[in-house]
Amino acid sequence: MNARAMVTVFVPGDAGSVSLGADTIATQLAQECRRRELSVRIVRNGSRGLYWLEPLIEVTTPGGRIAYGPVGTKDLPALLDAGLLDGGPHALRLGDIASHEWLRSQQRLTAARVGVVDPADIDDYIAHGGYVGLSTALTMPPHDLVRAITESGLRGRGGAAFPTGIKWQTVHDQRAAQKYIACNADEGDSGTFSDRMIMEGDPFALIEGMTIAGLAVGATQGYIYLRVEYPHAARALAKALHTARERGYLGGDLRDSGRDFDISVRIGGGAYICGEETSMLESLEGRRGEVRVRPPLPAIKGLFGQPTVVNNVITLATVPVILARGARAYRDFGMGKSRGTIPLQLAGNVKRGGLVERAFGLTVNELVYDYGGGSATGRPVRAVQIGGPLGAYLPESQFDTPLDYEALAAKDALLGHGGVVVFDDSTDMARMARYALEFCAIESCGKCTPCRVGSTRGVELIDRMLARSNGGRAGDLALLDELCDTMANGSLCGLGGMTPFPVRSALKHFREDFLG
Ligand SMILES: Cc1cc2nc3c(=O)[nH]c(=O)nc-3n(C[C@H](O)[C@H](O)[C@H](O)COP(=O)(O)O)c2cc1C
Ligand code: SF4
């Protein structure tokens, strides 16, 4: 090896970047440096969320981190010839990525460390502000912790937007020998990946958030119910949990406080319905993921019949930020009843897809055009679907809608987990409505008739409409609308209950597609 100091190169190891070739880049970079006798330390960080630039690698230089991307394997020799390890000039050089407009304009609180830190290194986490929240939490009585979360205005980021403080208060108030924190990491919505990015890029944030939740409500055991399709997240969590335990941030007598909390990971059942909280609890208990009738609420009778906080990954990973910065500081972001920030996930037919964390209130226009750059095909954008497969389609005429819970509800839409999928003008919206019903038919747990049977009848009805020539279609449209009514009002859970959102929005805004 030559005499120069060891250089650190960050090559993302998250599933998104790996799917774009990051593992091969990491292997070839190590080989090429060995061949040239250059000494490098390769850190597998998370993606910063600029997916159109992945694999995006960063080199630590005395002047700061210098990024290059998207890097292909064929680029590596030329990059090294150009002085990659010194941040040398090259066509792929992006400079300091943190000052890139796409990132600079964001308000990253929950995802502040994603892509920045080494997800396997607890000291790096601490050096970047990690465990400040837990240190604060350990000095506070449980009811003050719950009050801080209530005052922050945090609402569940899994989809239902229920106030987190109220949920925690309910569990806090139960008398029980055992309580649980169950983290919903099933992330089943199409076009969503923020949970994955946190777990792969900053797993200690979730661990810290769950630990604070445990202290607040009196739970000593947590479970992460992890989507089966997330093996990279499983590995990152396993490493981080082991380290946290070794360093006294998990387990018995947390940081010599006399308080206990530990976390186990459970791999999900591989069905969309397993993300619904009561199905998730069934699956966690080892049964088929099937919806439980409510009441009782999980907060009163949840996992193994005990009071349980069920929260999404983003909800829990935001808790340390609130404790570290203060409830008021967090509340200062956002608009109306939607307080704080939301990590939006931009996907589908879009030029620049990725993670955009902003205070609630960014408009769809700003997201799709300023961040996304319009469609990837270059054709006009026709619609976006917001909030996963059960979310409404918004036409371009409504792209001035702010992304906040109430503003979207006023447009018969929902924000859900913050996934926004873009479609261009070649999309047949009747087929998208059919797809929503087909998805529901495939994923239905079968417990109630409006969902199990209604979804299949809906698919048949749209097929019939699309196969026919013009005659009799007005009647079919009315029948489809009536079917949506039955599903919305008669289904036991959100899968059957919300499938009408995409169907009705397609009917309302793109009626011509149903009429052939
Ligand atoms: C069909 C269906 C699927 C769901 N999938 C998820 C999921 O994958 N992840 C998630 O966090 N919440 C999901 N939810 C919402 C959960 O039921 C629940 O509201 C959430 O986990 C509570 O956490 P939060 O308050 O932090 O959002 C789903 C709901 C329904 C009806
Ligand atoms: S709406 Fe569908 S998924 Fe939900 S309980 Fe009924 S059958 Fe099961």
Encode pLDDT of 405-437 as tens digits. 999 999 999 999 999 999 999 999 999 999 999
| Token pair 């009408």: residue | 500
Instruction: Find out whether 211 and 248 touch, Cβ atoms under 8 Å.
Output: no
DSSP strand pairing (419-424 vs 381-386): antiparallel
Phi-psi region of 388 (alpha: psi -120 to 50; beta: other; left: phi over 0): left
Residue 333 confidence (pLDDT) above 50: yes
CA of 281 to the centre of ligand 2 (A): 15
- Residue 470: its pLDDT value, please? 55
Q: Does the beta carbon of 445 sit less than 6 angstroms from any atom of ligand 2? A: yes
User: What residues are paired with 183 via a beta bridge?
Assistant: 224, 311
Q: How far apart are CA 435 and CA 389, in angstroms?
A: 9
- As a whole number, mean pLDDT of residues 483-499 equals 97
- Residue 52: its pLDDT value, please? 97
Helix (H) or strand (E) holding 312: strand 308-312
> Which ligand 1 atom is at minimum distance from the Cα of 157?
27
CB-count exposure of residue 307 (10 Å: 0-12, 13-18, 19+)? buried
CB-count exposure of residue 253 (10 Å: 0-12, 13-18, 19+)? exposed
Residue count (the chain): 516
CB atoms within 10 A of CB 8: 16
In terms of C-beta distances under 8 Å and separation of at least 24 residues, what long-range contacts does 324-332 make, across chains too?
324/129, 324/132, 324/133, 324/136, 325/109, 326/148, 327/148, 327/149, 327/151, 327/152, 327/153, 328/151, 330/109, 330/152, 330/153, 330/154, 331/151, 331/152, 331/153
pLDDT digits (tens, 9 = 90+) for 1-47: 555 779 999 999 999 999 999 999 999 999 999 999 999 999 999 99
Q: Does the beta carbon of 489 sit less than 6 angstroms from any atom of ligand 2? A: no
- As a whole number, mean pLDDT of residues 81-98 equals 97
R_g over Cα of the chain: 24
Residue 467 confidence (pLDDT) above 90: no
Contacts of 269 (CB under 8 A, 6+ apart): 228, 283, 288, 289
Using CB distances shorter than 6 Å, the residues near ligand 1 are: 156-160, 162, 184, 186-188, 272-273, 275-277, 310-312, 315, 493-495
The mean predicted confidence, pLDDT, of the chain is 96
- Using pLDDT thresholds of 50, 70 and 90, give the confidence band for residue 469: low
| Ligand 1, atom 12: closest residue by C-alpha | 158
- Residue 88: its pLDDT value, please? 97
Helix (H) or strand (E) holding 130: none
CA of 40 to the centre of ligand 1 (A): 42
Q: How far apart are CA 159 and CA 409, in angstroms?
A: 13
pLDDT digits (tens, 9 = 90+) for 192-203: 999 999 999 999
- Residue 471: its pLDDT value, please? 46
CB atoms within 10 A of CB 175: 7
Q: How far apart are CA 210 and CA 233, in angstroms?
A: 16
